[in-house]
Amino acid sequence: MKILGIVGWKNSGKTTLVSRLLPALAAQGFGVSTLKHAHHEFDVDQPGKDSYIHRQAGAHEVLITSARRWVLMHEARDEPEAELGHLLRRLSPVDVVLVEGFKRHSHPKIEVHRRNGTGEPAPLLCRDDPDVIALVTDEEVGEVPVPKFRSDELDRLVAFLLPALRLAQEASP
């Protein structure tokens, strides 16, 4: 299972790139999963629903299932935030996992760059992070130490990723 991080500052277009890479990699015959880091609390269920009541009553884990999908919620409570490796081991095997966030972890990453909300250029991660293997930006950023792609160059980016991640010879049947 190959790991590819999609990193960047807030509102840089990370989710947009993930949503475009997923079908492009799947069209090449690869099994793809995603793992998204949130910097805030979130709930996938709603007050009053059975799963919410189970969690509030103290369940360590709640698994909800139907004919179409299932989801496992784990309550961390006073535990430290789960490490990336622990989370990846919980996923079913696939060819590649697109990890949105976890920008300070060591794994191959694509940086997505856009000016911040004030119009000022955000700092480039690729200049200081040797794990960034490519930059996706429509901004003029000058010379960078990695290949640079515009946001409309998805085919070119995928063509770069296949050998960079050694995916071509390892696709799922």
Q: What is the pLDDT of residues 122-166, one digit of tens each?
A: 899 999 999 999 999 999 999 999 999 999 999 999 999 999 988
* Structural contact between residues 111 and 4, judged by C-beta atoms closer than 8 angstroms: no
Q: What is the pLDDT of residue 166?
A: 86
User: Tell me: the pLDDT tens digits for 55-96?
Assistant: 888 888 888 888 998 888 888 888 888 889 988 998 999 999
Dmax (CA) of the chain? 55
Q: And the tokens for 58?
A: 């103290």
Q: Give CA separation, 161 vs 23, 109, 114, 167, in Å.
A: 14, 10, 21, 8
Q: Would you list the domain boundaries of the chain?
A: 2-40+81-170
Pick the CATH number of 2-40+81-170 from 3.40.630.20, 3.30.530.20, 1.10.275.10, 3.40.50.300: 3.40.50.300
